[in-house]
Structure 1
Amino acid sequence: MAKAAIVILAGTESHADNGRVVNGLEAAKEFAENDGDELELIFDGAGTQWIPELEDEDHDYHDLYASVSESASACDYCAGAFGVDDAIQDAGVVTIDEHEGHPSIRSLVDDDYEIITF
């Protein structure tokens, strides 16, 4: 049994960012497909901008995102800072504000999650 926290930090501005989010989603999917694994998929920082884009059914990677979206959450502070808080709420994605408005990475480490960033 593996415990993984995939943290998407990549923004939406470049081809490299697109590659990072796809790699992060593929990694998340691999954990999600393995019975017994525990997955947390966190969109943080500029990564919060991906949620409204990936929620669009016409997006090239919508299906990949949809396959792991039930594990998705977003940084509450960053969703507001990047202007996507309403879109994230509309998508039904939970926002996390455990540590000064942000997800608590320390709590994940304390719960024995491997932290993997993209």
Structure 2
Amino acid sequence: MVNAAVIILAGTESHADTGRMVNGLEAAREFAANEEDDLEFIFDGAGTQWIAELEDEDHDYHDLYRSVQDEASVCDYCASAFDVDDAVEDQGIVRIDENEGHPSIRSLVSDDYEIITF
């Protein structure tokens, strides 16, 4: 059994950002597919912008996103800061505000999660 926290921090501005996001989705899908693994899949910082992008059914990675969407959560503070509140609400994604509006990375480390950022 593996405890993994996949965190997407990459924004939507460049080809490199898209590559990091796709790699994060692929990693999340791999962990989600293994029933013995425990996955925390978080969009944080500029990564929250992907939620609105990936909601579009015509997006190249929409299907990949849909394969792990039920596992996804989002930083509450950053969803507001990056103006994606409506997309988060529309998709029913869990908002995390454990540490002054942000996810608690310390709690994940304390719970023996491997932190993997993209």
TM > 0.5 fold call: yes
- Aligned counterparts of 1:98 and 1:48: Cα–Cα separation in 2: 17
Identity of aligned residues (%): 77
Deviations 1:35-71 (A, max 9, x none): 2101111000000000011111111001101111111
Shift of 1:97: 0.4
- Which residue does the alignment assign to 2:116? 116
Superposition CA RMSD, Å: 0.6
- Which residue does the alignment assign to 1:97? 97
Shift of 1:85: 1.1
Gaps of 5+ in 2: none
> Is contact 1:52–1:91 with CA below 8 Å preserved after alignment?
no
Q: 1:109 aligns to what SS in structure 2?
A: helix
Task: Give every structure 1 segment of 4 or more consecutive aligned residues whose post-TM-superposition deviation is greater than 2 Å.
Answer: none
- Which residue does the alignment assign to 1:52? 52
- Which residue does the alignment assign to 1:32? 32
Shift of 1:27: 0.5
- Aligned counterparts of 1:86 and 1:63: Cα–Cα separation in 2: 20
- The alignment's TM-score, normalised by the length of structure 1, stands at 0.98
Q: 1:112 aligns to what SS in structure 2?
A: coil
- Aligned counterparts of 1:111 and 1:57: Cα–Cα separation in 2: 35
- Which residue does the alignment assign to 1:5? 5
- The alignment's TM-score, normalised by the length of structure 2, stands at 0.98
- Aligned counterparts of 1:114 and 1:67: Cα–Cα separation in 2: 21
The aligned length equals: 118
Question: Match of 1:117, as an amino acid?
Answer: T
